[in-house]
Amino acid sequence: MVVALGRVLAALRRERGWTVEEAAGRFAVEPAFVRRIEAGRTNPSLAVLVSLATAFGLRTEELLRDSPPASHRFAK
């Protein structure tokens, strides 16, 4: 699940054209933490998951899928 979340997060971030640093600012976490999530090396807290979902304009459960939600692909 952690690896799948990392893939979804990285795909959504890239689709929006956000750098790791810009995403970290939007998520209110450190860039290194974004990198660890994307690499599947950490298990973010519920609070962080909510922050990620809010930044992407998604529901939290949408981040826990194996791929980015089709309705949000390429959204800016």
Count of other CB atoms within 10 angstroms of residue 63: 20
Specify the pTM. Answer: 0.81
Q: Is residue 35 part of a domain?
A: yes
Q: Is residue 59 part of a domain?
A: yes
Domain residue limits at 34:
2-68
Q: Is residue 75 part of a domain?
A: no
Residue 67 CB partners (closer than 8 Å, separation 6+): 7, 8, 11
Q: Is residue 34 part of a domain?
A: yes
CATH number of the domain that residue 21 is part of: 1.10.260.40
Residue 65 identity: R
Dihedral angle at the C-alpha atoms of 25, 55, 66, 2, nearest 10 degrees? 40
Q: Is residue 47 part of a domain?
A: yes
Residue 28 and residue 51 in contact, taking contact as beta carbons nearer than 8 Å: yes
Q: At what angle do helices 31-38 and 20-27 cross, to 10 degrees?
A: 100
Q: What is the pLDDT of residues 26-35, one digit of tens each?
A: 999 999 999 9
Q: What is the pLDDT of residues 18-57, one digit of tens each?
A: 999 999 999 999 999 999 999 999 999 999 999 999 999 9
Q: How many domains does the chain have?
A: 1
